[in-house]
Structure 1
Amino acid sequence: MPRTGGVYSPPAGTKGTPNTTIQSVPYNSFVDDLTADANAARPVTAGGTGATSASGARTALGTDDAGNITTGTFNDARLPLTQSGKVFTSSTFLKGSASRWWGFIDNTDILRGALGYDPALAGLFMNLHDATGTFVTGLSLRQNGAITWGGNTVWHAGNDGAGSGLDADLLDANDSSFYRNASNINAGTMDDARLPITQAGKVFTTSALLKGTVSRWWGFVDNSDILRGSVGYNPTTSTIFLNLHDGAGAFVTGLALSQAGSIAWGGNTVWHSGNDGTGSGLDADRLRSLLPDFNVNPNTVPTRGGSSEIQAAYVYNPATGVTFGSDGNIYGGTFWGAAGGLYNWLNANKAGVYTASTRDELNFPIGHTVLVSTSNSYDRNVAVTLYLNGTAYYSPTVSGTALSGTWRSRGNFTGQGYAFERVS
């Protein structure tokens, strides 16, 4: 009878009943069942291996899966000499009183690299080997602080500097030619003794000062070192000088700017808007670019003649537009017409007396009165156009040539006609 869940149960009907005869068939079946169970592989749940062979037992018990080994420690002899890569989650040590090494070999088992510690030398070593396994070179880290590569000292921040013996090809990424180029000096101040007496032109981006309690000068010399010009300051007189010198270096003339406000050129006062004007003594050749002239000439400044008169073709006031003309007329633009002048305006706009004798005169002065014989009726002061009529009359009807200007009726007389006055 098969086991259920690994548990054996006798076949039904095999148990005996007291005071009864044991039946041979059930009994024999029970014995055969026990025999079969005893010869079959005992299940793991019943304390067996679940198999009839060693490999089957290892499989059934899980002993062929290293993942099922959760306790104890493998004997070192059980570990293979050749293993694939591993990840160690804690520190790994090489133990011993003699040198111990981690080695790196190629596929032909030739040592190509090694990392080791020698307790006698108190140093770590990283070595490189050639294709035959022969040592070539290596890095040595000593407990006393020394570092060597191939037997040569390795430099670092703790052993470089003065007296270290370090022979660098570059300094701050620059070779020695960089530091022999003065253009690359960008800090500190050059000692005055290092500056040459003769220099090429310079561009100063900040103020350049001459310091001292006595006069100080900027000079300008020619190729023969002859002084031709100079700019200086005298602290005693508080004056700046700009001087010119001749071919022998002798002073010729100069401009002096005094802190008191005066300016002199060659010892002569220089005029400006702060010291010219009345009482200044300035003797100008021109006034507003115009020359003085006693005569009546254009673009000149009129001056008094021998009799204290001012001679000019006309006098013009640009503010009012009024011109006093040489013809005695006064011209006033918007006042009296652009071209007519005061005289002509008075003639044209004020009452005048006609003194001529032309029979057929058409243009009478303003204020002139004529008598018009007409049977027409006109209101007082009405404007009427008048015409010549024959050789003796004026008429309001078209009979001849019209008179110039505007004429207004000034009243009727005895029913015979009207008096008309020219008003413009």
Structure 2
Amino acid sequence: MPRTGGVYSPPAGTKGVPNTTIQSVPYNTLIDDLTADANAPRPLTSGGTGATSASGARTALGLEIGTNVQAQDAGLQSIAGLTTTTNQMLYTTGTDAYATTALTPFARTILDDVDAAGVRATIGANDASTLITGTIADARLPATMSGKAFVGSVVVNNGSVTGYAVLSAGNTTNTGYIDFRKADGNRAGYIGYATNGGGNIDLNAEVGFRYNFSGALGPTYGGTPLVTTAGASFTGAVWAPNFLASNDFQIRSNGDRYLYFMNSAGNNRGVIVHNNAIGAMQTFLYNTSGTFVRSLTLREDGGGFWGGHMFEVGNNVGTAEFRFNANANRDHRLLSDASGSFYVQYSNNEWSTASTLVWWDAAANANLGGSIYTPTGFFTSGALGSNNGLVAGNGDNATYASHNLRISTWYGVGIYDSSSGNCRIVFDARGGHITNTGNHAVGGTMYVGSAAVFGDGNMQFSGGMLGYGAYLSDALSARATVYTGSNQDEVNLPVGHSVLSYSNGTRNRNQGYATYLSTAAYQFTLDVGASAQLGGTWRARGQITYSSGNSMVQMQRTA
């Protein structure tokens, strides 16, 4: 039967009676009722939850997660493990991990402030008079101040350890001064107004030099004040960003004297020195880092040295010159003019007049004002052999072995007609031949082998008629001269020699045509693939055409 108020009551008529047979129906009804009650949810009044599920049981018990109770949380679990004491607060040490730290009553007075102004009021930072230590940021200070009096010294320091300056109120010597101190606090020097010294400005180094300026500051140069020191003498070094002297400026010393030029970083850019030991004026040049580059030295003995690679004379004024005065009235000069010409000149009257020894025009053509004398000779340069030129001979004679003048050539010498640009005479130094395109005009006697040809036209042969016969034999043999050498680039072939030459056109017989070596090593050519031209006059003796536009022409040298 259903429970009443959570209390179970058996069904009516199910109890047994003593000495009476238990009937099956009431008994089974009781058993079924007990089974149904045992399987039904146990009501709260009976110690159950009245639910058939865990969530239903939590709801029945008022423990529904998220509604009646908090779900399991790692952060809460971490907090649950802490032990707190007075004036402590929680803070996180990681994800869902907590610890405690002190929270003083004063700190709590800051936490309840709603803005920065409230915090400054709480800690007393809203009034500069309450600041007792530290410094005020530059941004908090006024850009200008007037009527301010500082009691005691004022230190000017950029925070580095390289040193600092101190503005001092004064002492018995100076009414007020500026101290310059090193990083260790020791004074390096000062500037002061010395009332006890006549009211002058003193510039003092702690160890070293002292400068006294009496009088007002002079005018400025480039915005930098200049000090007027008429007739002043300085002992030691003098440093000045700008220096103006309307009269003499003297540097006196028995030793070396220096004039330095520095950049704003203190690096030397130039130094002018009188080197007393060697008697010289020297100029030393440095790069922007202060590293020495080169120097110019002018010695009292007349010597000079320049460590650069260029020395420029002139400034686009039309002419520029460089003079050499080795002796009175014995002068030379190098002169350059606006046309691009360059002259070497001589004068014996202090340049009232001048003689040009040699000059070059802008096209590099050399012009001589007199004769040329050379102990070795004149040589040409280039790839066409070596030792080509005009040189001195080896004796006072006129033989093959000894002579006064020698024309030296690797192979041959050609004499050209400048009006046409054609070579008319060729000297073959290797073979000893002279070839020309014209006639030989002989005013005296000409010897040809054993024959003598006289100016009147008569000829005499050594050996009489036998000699004449030998001459005719030699002459007839010479008419059929052919080249017997093996140089495939030979261009001076003998008269009478024939070559077979390629041509891409028609060549008329017995007509003269320029003949060339071919770029192909196995043939000659009249046009296509031409290389070096053959010397002399060549005439066509016949032509064979082996295909359209391609022929072979027999060419023979006739002169």
Fold equivalence (TM over 0.5): no
Higher radius of gyration, 1 or 2: 1
TM-score in terms of structure 1 length: 0.33
TM-score in terms of structure 2 length: 0.27
Higher RCO structure, 1 or 2 (CA under 8 Å, sep 6+): 1
